[in-house]
Amino acid sequence: MPDYLDDLRLAHVLADAADAATMDRFKALDLKVETKPDMTPVSEADKAAEELIRGHLGRARPRDAILGEEYGVEGTGPRRWVIDPIDGTKNYVRGVPVWATLISLMEAGEGGFQPVVGVVSAPALGRRWWAAQGHGAFSGRSLTKASRLQVSRVSKLSDASFAYSSLSGWEEQGRLDGFLDLTREVWRTRAYGDFWPYMMVAEGAVDMCAEPELSLWDMAATAIVVTEAGGTFTGLDARPGPHSGNAAASNGLLHDELLGYLNQRY
């Protein structure tokens, strides 16, 4: 069984390079921002960070494929790097520090590609999280200065902290009633948004989170960090992994109830 540690070290190198590029333009008064066809923003920093990562991978892993948010798929084969150069672009362009570069390696297996390495780097927060299949999940300043992550043991909804991004997506999908019912049952709700609630689930600071509409590059890195920390990451359809176009993550103990409310079975 591969240990993926060389790939994890490479992912850290990629994240270091991306951090330097994105922080250099964070809060820049002349930052150029465009609107994509799906009406979401993209900054020059998004594009530059993805180009930088693709360049590094082209030299270090020329046989691997790459899927990135800004430039699509390049290459074929059983190994694919999945890149979101800035997850949280709306925060980035407004000067909010909650954004991160997401880097994952996915490998072909049963049920399609599965994440085997993930790095989530949030330089404006001074935080980084990572995982490799079979090696656990960690957070820290470097591979050698890190703390192992472990999800919480909260087992009752009335004691649970639930995180989400916004209300609008749940309403658009006709799931708002179930979502609101869930918020009434839990101890606490907070709309942290983007990658951050998944990392807090992995840390045990939040017990569960969910989003109604996501792309693969939003989820591949966060999924393996959550699962290697002992948690559960599925789509709203309960399919394991980052393949459903939406996500539900939890400490595992609360997952059935989380999905039950969001699918309005209660």
C-alpha to C-alpha distance for 13 and 191, rounded to whole angstroms: 31
Residue 137 phi, psi (nearest 5) = -120, 145
Check whether 87 is labelled as a binding-site residue: yes
Asked if residue 175 lies in contact with residue 262, where contact means CB atoms within 8 angstroms, the answer is yes
Check whether 218 is labelled as a binding-site residue: yes
Alpha carbon 210 to chain centroid, angstroms: 11
Asked if residue 120 lies in contact with residue 136, where contact means CB atoms within 8 angstroms, the answer is no
**65-68 and 79-87 strand pairing:** parallel
Check whether 19 is labelled as a binding-site residue: no
Binding residues for Mg(2+): 69, 84, 86-87, 218
Binding residues: 69, 84, 86-87, 218
